Structures are given as structure tokens and as C-alpha cells.
């Protein structure tokens, strides 16, 4: 018996490093998954190995109608929704806050804040109807603390933390648990991008600096974050709601 046997999950950001690793864990542990991302080709490639256990939908989390359609498609494909992983996100720019343009700020806001809000808004009702469900919002260590050069991203991820807390207070009395996860640097595309944006000529020096800020002495892996999501998605975390869960190699203990 798998740890999420018979459950149905909806995962946004399904083509990204953390999204793909989470889908692998959920399917391996007995769930069926509705995978949502922007581009059909990469999405099909990402889930081809899982056959009927995974259905897909394309669109952007920044458009409410796209998210509503994804939830409806999940329900028509699998008949229920037990686990919602609001994971789609962008890093935006790395620069002093005095140099961030309104357009750059809006892009981060639209995906990380609006997109996460719409995902929760449309994913929660079927769970409330069932009287049970687990919602996991992907924030960041920068949803709990700040970092020079990443103010727009940190602001957007703090908003995700606030959304999680408010949603947990609204939805827990109706049987739906809501938690957020807060990874430190994960060894994947997003960190490669942040390293390049911070120092185009010396991205490895940025990686060294970030690594030195993590007492465990390394970046995390997509799979380590997926393991935390799996715990929160499963009934093993049945008394956990309204909490922030870090996976950060002790970054936040400083």
C-alpha cells in the first residue's frame, strides 16, 4: 500500500525540477496526478513514463480561467481532488530594489502571488466538498527571511506564507489542511538562473556563496523537496495544518 494510495493530486509547475520529482514520488506511492504547466511538449515528455496515472492540462497560473479549467479537467479525469501542490513560480530578477522596474515586479507578482492564489481558490472547493484534503504551497526560505538582490521574489514568497496561514484558518475547520514549504537553494534550473543573474561572469562564485550560507554545506535536491511534499500530502501529516516546513540545511537556524 503506497503512502498516498488512491488519492488524486493536482501539481502546478509540473515541468520544473521540484514538480517533476514530486509527481514521481506521488505516482510511486499510489496517487494519480493531474499535471499542469504552460507548454504541452515539455509537459508530455515529463509525464510520458506514467501512462494513465497522470493526466495533463496546459495554461498559465496567472489566468484564473486557465486554473479553473485545470481543476475541472482534473475532476473529470479522476473524479476527485485530495492533494493540491501549488508549485509554479518564477525567480524574476536579481538586482537592487531601486533598479527593479514595474514590469519586472509585476511578472513576479503575477506568477508567484496571483498564480498561487488562483490555484488555491479553485483547488480548495472540491476538497471542502469531500471534507478532506491537503494543500501544499511552495514558498521558499525567502518566504520567511530576506535577501539582498531578491526583494521582489522574497516579497512574493512572504505573500505565499501569509496566504497559507489565512487559508489554513479558513479551511482547516472544513477538513482541509494547508501548509507551506520553504526550501533553501535547490540544485536545479532556477538556482542556475539566479546564479547567472547575480554574476553573469562568475555564476560559480554565487553558488559558493549560497552554499557557504547553508550549514549542511550543499544545495538541496529536487527529490529532497519532493519527499517533504509527499509527507504533507499523505495522512502521515494528518495533524499538520497552518505550518511552515523548511527544507534548508539549517539556513534558517542562523
Ligand X SMILES: NC(=O)c1ccc[n+]([C@@H]2O[C@H](COP(=O)([O-])OP(=O)(O)OC[C@H]3O[C@@H](n4cnc5c(N)ncnc54)[C@H](OP(=O)(O)O)[C@@H]3O)[C@@H](O)[C@H]2O)c1
Q: Which residues bind ligand X (CB under 6 A)?
A: 12-19, 37-39, 42, 60-62, 87-90, 111, 115, 138, 140, 183, 185-186, 188-191
Q: How far is Cα 254 from Cα 250, in angstroms, rounded to an integer? A: 7
- Indicate the residue among 4 and 228 with the shorter CB distance to ligand X: 228
- Indicate the residue among 61 and 84 with the shorter CB distance to ligand X: 61
Long-range contacts of 99-106 (CB under 8 A, 24+ apart): 100/151, 100/152, 104/152, 105/152
Rounded to the nearest whole angstrom, what is the least distance from the CB of residue 60 to ligand X in the complex?
4
Closest listed residue to residue 61, CA positions, set 95, 81, 38, 84: 38
- Indicate the residue among 1 and 253 with the shorter CB distance to ligand X: 253
Rounded to the nearest whole angstrom, what is the least distance from the CB of residue 229 to ligand X in the complex?
10
Q: Which helix (H) or strand (E) holds 58?
A: strand 54-58
Rounded to the nearest whole angstrom, what is the least distance from the CB of residue 250 to ligand X in the complex?
15
Set of cell numbers at residue 122: 479553485
Catalytic residue from among 50, 109, 153, 219: 153
Q: Which helix (H) or strand (E) holds 133?
A: strand 133-138
Distance between start and end Cα atoms, the chain: 40
Rounded to the nearest whole angstrom, what is the least distance from the CB of residue 7 to ligand X in the complex?
21
Active site residue 153: yes
Residues known to be catalytic: 153
Amino acid at each position: 500500500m503506497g503512502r498516498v494510495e488512491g488519492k488524486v493530486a493536482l501539481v502546478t509547475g509540473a515541468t520544473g525540477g521540484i514538480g517533476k520529482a514530486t509527481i514521481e514520488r506521488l505516482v510511486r506511492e499510489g496517487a494519480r496526478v493531474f499535471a499542469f504547466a504552460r507548454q504541452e511538449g515539455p509537459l508530455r515528455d515529463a509525464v510520458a513514463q506514467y501512462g494513465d496515472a497522470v493526466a495533463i492540462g496546459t495554461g498559465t497560473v496567472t489566468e484564473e480561467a486557465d486554473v479553473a479549467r485545470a481543476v475541472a479537467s482534473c475532476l473529470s479525469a479522476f473524479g476527485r481532488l485530495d492533494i493540491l501542490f501549488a508549485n509554479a513560480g518564477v525567480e524574476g530578477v536579481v538586482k537592487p530594489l531601486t533598479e527593479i522596474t514595474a514590469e519586472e515586479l509585476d511578472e513576479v507578482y503575477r506568477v508567484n502571488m496571483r498564480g498561487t492564489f488562483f490555484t488555491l481558490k479553485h483547488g480548495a472547493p472540491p476538497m471542502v466538498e469531500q471534507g478532506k484534503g491537503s494543500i501544499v504551497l511552495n514558498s521558499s526560505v525567502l518566504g520567511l527571511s530576506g535577501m539582498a538582490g531578491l526583494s521582489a521574489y522574497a516579497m512574493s514568497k512572504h505573500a505565499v506564507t501569509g496566504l497559507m496561514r489565512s487559508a489554513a484558518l479558513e479551511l482547516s475547520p472544513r477538513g482541509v489542511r494547508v501548509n507551506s514549504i520553504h526550501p533553501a537553494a535547490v540544485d536545479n534550473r532556477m538556482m542556475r538562473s539566479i546564479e547567472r543573474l547575480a554574476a553573469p561572469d562568475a555564476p560559480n562564485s554565487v553558488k559558493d556563496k549560497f552554499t557557504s550560507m547553508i550549514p549542511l554545506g550543499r544545495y538541496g535536491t529536487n527529490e529532497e523537496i519532493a519527499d517533504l511534499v509527499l509527507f504533507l500530502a499523505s495522512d502521515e501529516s494528518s495533524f499538520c495544518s497552518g505550518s511552515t516546513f523548511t527544507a534548508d540545511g539549517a539556513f534558517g537556524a542562523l
